[in-house]
Chain A
Amino acid sequence: MAQILINAVTLGSLYLLFALGMSVAWGTIGILNFAHGSFFMFAALSAHFIVQKVALPMPIMVLLGMVVGAVLSVLTQMLVFDPIQRRSTDHHRAELQILVGGIGISSILLAIAQHVTRSVPFGFSNSTFHIEVYELGPLQVSNIQFVILSVAVGMSALTAWWLRSARAGLALRAIGVDSEVATLMGVDRRRLAFGTMAVSGGLAGMAGILLTYYLGSIAAETGDSFLIKAFAAIILGGIGSVTGVITGAMVLALAETIVLTQMSGMWASAVAFGLIFVVLLLRPRGLFGRKEVRRT
């Protein structure tokens, strides 16, 4: 049971790192980014190609993934989301267009990745980092699990602090509450949007690298399946709330792990969707959803 818990927390931490950036972008600047999963995959892919040339240690690889994710995210904001938001007058219509724009970007990145990898899974076998498994009594814990857990704790604490106390975070929350009044008060919405997207993409890239280390290899399509899991985690917890994402990711991972070990593996993927459905019915704003940051 304790072993299941450890594995579930690791999986939950990966969900958390992935969903955190998405939740922040959705809850503040109102961008529901469908390309988030492909940033995550593309960061891992770029790192895979670089590590084949030079054997790099893990911290550098994580940094690399963050940079790739952030650059992709900022580029997407610059070329797609920002033009849509600038040209649009109708908020609801803009939301739909952003959704579709993200879908387009994601299919471009997926197609490129499938082309260069010929749909074969890829990993970081040339990295200097090697997985070691420690035996703690009856439990088995690997060093990568420690890394994932500590990075997840660190990043979510940092994000929570940033949103709560930093000036930029305050401005972001102000946008989340009422973007027009925030603009009147001197908040530069566009500049903040770029910053938020950079943070969001960086978190996705980080999650991509760590997941690839944890699983050994990932495929081009892994990003898409993570996207739905992230939705589930965000909706479970409530959009824009860091506590919410943490809870959502952990509950989801725990439920999935339990179903996976107790029932046939095929049903595990239904857990995420079932949870989304039930939570939306009982608490439409999520477990920690606040009314004032609603964007719909």
Chain B
Amino acid sequence: MIEWYDAHLVLIQSTFVNLLLVLSIQVPLRMGVFSFAGVGSYGLGAYVSAILTIRYEIPAYVAIGVGILLAASIGYLLALVVSRLKGLYLAMATIAFVLILSVIATNGGELTGGAQGLYGAISDLNTLEVIMVSVVVIVLLALSERGATKRRIDAVREDPELAMSVGIPVVRLQRLSFVISGALGACAGGMNALLRTTVSPQALSFHLVVLALTMIIVGGLRSWIGALIGAVVFTWLPSMLQLAGEWQSVVYGLIVVLAAIFVPTGLLGLVQDTYRKLRRRSSRVVARDSVSGTDDTDTERALFASLGGDNRTGGSR
């Protein structure tokens, strides 16, 4: 176990970093905001924490924290600026935002290290801290996927006008999604830069936008579990595909295409559908048996026994 952990440390770290990056795009998407600004925040966070670490040698959490604050405020300003846009238009504007940041990073001279980027951002950030941050974020998001908060978010996504009419602060929530997205993206970028001790304009590329979108669609749109599935699959897939040798990129593309066609609700949706189908089938069996059979408890007892010997057969009835 320890051996495996050491051998795959980089992939394990990348999984959590990618998870946070994907969440930074999924959170706005859940509120019906099709924004890729999270990728821009990722680059912003990466550069800010790398520059602070190299120049001032401050602790990792301060460097990342500054990045998060900056990206969250820029996220808020961006939300004000692009408030008129929706759908694919908003997506395009935010992609443009990411690419402008990337050109600035490439032309930043001394400060950003130009096309080569920055090296030697050595800090004391360790994997456990990364995992802890991810767990905290997941718990918070999981809470937002239950009860009244979930219903409110669903309403904002499915029918903003109606949501507004019943008193849900739609505009404020959508702006909030930009801020959260900025914070999550910057957190992922900052942690990645400090774990790898380098940052380059690659952290702001169109390719990263595409990768994040693919993870969300393949994993699942509506829940953090989908984001986790997507992050795990696409972080580990390239190393699995090494078996395919030179053709690994072709296989990768093929998997993306097949997922787009056949798994419209993402892998999470697929699992949920299958589970629901199975449960419906088993409950139908119970229903038919209880109609035809005269002795309820006997059939139930048999069912429990076949399911692995639950000892609830006693006097519960």
Q: Is A7 in the interface zone, CB < 8 Å from B?
A: no
- Given A115-B246, A224-B206, A104 and B257 touching (CB < 8 A)? yes
Minimum CB–CB distance for B22 against chain A, Å? 14
A106 cross-chain contacts in B, Cβ below 8 A: 253
Q: Is B270 in the interface zone, CB < 8 Å from A?
A: no
Bound together, the chains give a CA A267 to CA B106 distance in angstroms of 9
Bound together, the chains give a CA A231 to CA B255 distance in angstroms of 26
Q: Is A136 in the interface zone, CB < 8 Å from B?
A: no
Contact with A along B96-116 (1 / 0, CB 8 A): 110110011011000000000
Minimum CB–CB distance for A99 against chain B, Å? 7
Q: Which of A1-51 contact B (CB under 8 A)?
A: 32, 34
Bound together, the chains give a CA A296 to CA B90 distance in angstroms of 10
Number of A-B contacts (CB under 8 A): 127
- Given A80-B257, A277-B93, A266 and B249 touching (CB < 8 A)? no
Minimum CB–CB distance for A93 against chain B, Å? 6
Bound together, the chains give a CA A232 to CA B250 distance in angstroms of 28
Residue in A101, A114, A228, A235 whose CB lies within 8 Å of B261: A101
Q: Is B252 in the interface zone, CB < 8 Å from A?
A: yes
Closest to B263 in A: A97
A272 cross-chain contacts in B, Cβ below 8 A: 99
- Given A100-B256, A108-B254, A276 and B96 touching (CB < 8 A)? yes
Q: Is B81 in the interface zone, CB < 8 Å from A?
A: yes
Bound together, the chains give a CA A251 to CA B246 distance in angstroms of 41
Q: Is B132 in the interface zone, CB < 8 Å from A?
A: no
Of the four ranges (under 10, 10 to 19, 20 to 34, 35 or more), the interface on chain A belongs to: 35 or more
B81 touching A100, Cβ below 8 Å:
no
Q: Is B217 in the interface zone, CB < 8 Å from A?
A: yes
Question: Which of A81-89, A141-149, A182-190 makes up part of the contact surface?
Answer: A81-89
Contact with A along B240-259 (1 / 0, CB 8 A): 00000011011011111111
Q: Is B314 in the interface zone, CB < 8 Å from A?
A: no
A87 cross-chain contacts in B, Cβ below 8 A: 261, 264
Bound together, the chains give a CA A47 to CA B259 distance in angstroms of 32
B260 touching A101, Cβ below 8 Å:
yes
Residue in B214, B247, B264 whose CB lies within 8 Å of A111: B247
A284 touching B89, Cβ below 8 Å:
yes
B92 touching A276, Cβ below 8 Å:
yes
Majority SS at the chain B contact face: helix
Q: Is A151 in the interface zone, CB < 8 Å from B?
A: no
A284 touching B85, Cβ below 8 Å:
yes
Residue in A80, A92, A105, A110 whose CB lies within 8 Å of B249: A110
Q: Is B164 in the interface zone, CB < 8 Å from A?
A: no
A93 cross-chain contacts in B, Cβ below 8 A: 221, 264
Contact with A along B63-74 (1 / 0, CB 8 A): 000000000000
A284 cross-chain contacts in B, Cβ below 8 A: 84-85, 89
Closest to A103 in B: B210
Q: Is B276 in the interface zone, CB < 8 Å from A?
A: no
A269 touching B206, Cβ below 8 Å:
no
Residue in A103, A228, A280 whose CB lies within 8 Å of B213: A103
A273 touching B100, Cβ below 8 Å:
yes
Closest to B256 in A: A104
Q: Is A256 in the interface zone, CB < 8 Å from B?
A: no
- Given A273-B100, A277-B93, A280-B93, A107 and B88 touching (CB < 8 A)? no
B261 touching A84, Cβ below 8 Å:
yes
Bound together, the chains give a CA A34 to CA B92 distance in angstroms of 13
Q: Is A281 in the interface zone, CB < 8 Å from B?
A: yes
Bound together, the chains give a CA A266 to CA B106 distance in angstroms of 8
Please, could you name 22 A-B residue pairs with CB atoms under 8 Å apart, sorted by A? Answer: A83-B261, A96-B217, A97-B260, A97-B264, A100-B214, A101-B261, A103-B210, A103-B256, A104-B214, A107-B253, A108-B254, A111-B250, A114-B249, A231-B95, A266-B107, A267-B103, A269-B103, A277-B96, A280-B89, A281-B81, A296-B88, A296-B89
Among all A-B residue pairs, the 8 with the closest Cβ atoms: A296-B87, A104-B256, A111-B249, A108-B253, A104-B257, A101-B260, A270-B103, A107-B253
